[in-house]
Amino acid sequence: MSTGAAPRGRRPGAPDTRAAILAAARTSFADKGFAGTTIRGVAGEAGVDAALVHHYFGTKDDLFLAAMELPVDPRQVIGPVVDGGVDGAGERLLRAFLALWDDPEVSPVLVGFVRSVLQPGGERLLTEGFLPVVLLPVGEALGLDHPEVRMPLLMSQVAGLIVTRYLVRLEPIASLPADAVVATYAPVLQHYLTADLPDLLR
């Protein structure tokens, strides 16, 4: 999407129109959650036409990801993970995760995002945002049975890895080379993706 195209709406050309839309989107996602946010509502708050929001940011999913200010679009990172099929998907997911989280330029941004998710009220960024926009589609694309159970289980080990390796910096986890992290955790992630689910979960 080119920002050089002439934008439509009440405030065409205003240099901070994009910023105003993003600010309104952030407020709405935080206050109303992902499901309660509409492009029309965000446009209204920002004082622009809904068409301009679509023009700048695309779908509501795109707007959500832009509002999170992640340094990457996680859906692009996830593509190769899905393309390889379910065999080895745990390891490929983990390597894609580590490529971002172990990058010293990207990691602080991600830590900041996680800290805001962990604030009281911030959980909707995960439960109503990241989970349905990024994580569940991965499980569905992999053809998992019960992706709505398996992806949260996988998320629970990834969350623990984030907390111990990047937030709390618990040793030896914090200092493990990426290959050791993969050797340790990929089997557990794969277990959540493909092992028989306990009857109590189905």
Total residues contacting a copy of itself (rule CB under 8 A)? 40
Closest CA to 62 of 105, 18, 97: 18
Q: How far apart are CA 192 and CA 184, in angstroms?
A: 14
Out of 30, 118, 136, 141, name the contact with a copy of itself by CB under 8 A. 118
Q: How far apart are CA 172 and CA 164, in angstroms?
A: 9
CB of 159 to a copy of itself, least distance (A): 4
From the CA atom positions of the chain, what is the Rg in Å?
19
Out of 65, 131, 133, 193, name the contact with a copy of itself by CB under 8 A. 131
Structure tokens that stand for 12 in this block: 């065409």
Q: How far apart are CA 140 and CA 116, in angstroms?
A: 27
Out of 12, 51, 127, 145, name the contact with a copy of itself by CB under 8 A. 127
- Scanning 12-20, 56-64, 69-77, 191-199 for contacts with a copy of itself by CB under 8 A, the matching segment is 191-199
At residue 88, φ and ψ (nearest 5 deg) are 75, 5
Binding site for a copy of itself (CB under 8 A): 115, 117-118, 123, 126-127, 131, 148-149, 152-153, 155-161, 163-165, 167-173, 176-177, 179-180, 183-184, 188, 191, 198-201
